[in-house]
Amino acid sequence: RVTKEVDSTSKEAKSFLKQQEKWQSSAPDSLPTGSGVKRPSGISSLLGKIGSKKQKMSTLEKSKLDWESFKEEEGIVEELAIHNRGKDGYIERKAFLERVDHRQFEIERDIRLSRMKP
């Protein structure tokens, strides 16, 4: 069993709450008893529960959960955040390379345009 903490406003939390509501509303205790309501039969209800597939966790999701738990256990969450914000951070390096690539493209474009005009 895996526990996961998410923000209450996230998409994943909302879908989980909807699923919980669906489970609670489909509980036999919550169904009104009367002549107009058909209760699910015992065998078909049981087969439906057995036949329903459990949601499988992908390797990426499992790795992400393992990494998150490792960061929490070691207490390195803040250290990683600080490191990634600096000049040595991956995101900063990617942004720098993207800016350099864009400048190089503009220089090459200007050269091509200047050669085209007589």
75 sits in the region (left: phi over 0; alpha: psi -120 to 50; else beta) called left
Look at residue 87 in the predicted model and tell me its pLDDT: 64
The CA distance from 92 to 83, in Å, is 11
Look at residue 40 in the predicted model and tell me its pLDDT: 56
Q: pLDDT tens across 36-52, in order?
A: 555 556 666 666 666 66
Residue 27 has pLDDT above 70, yes or no: no
Vertex 47, ends 46 and 51: CA angle to 5°?
125
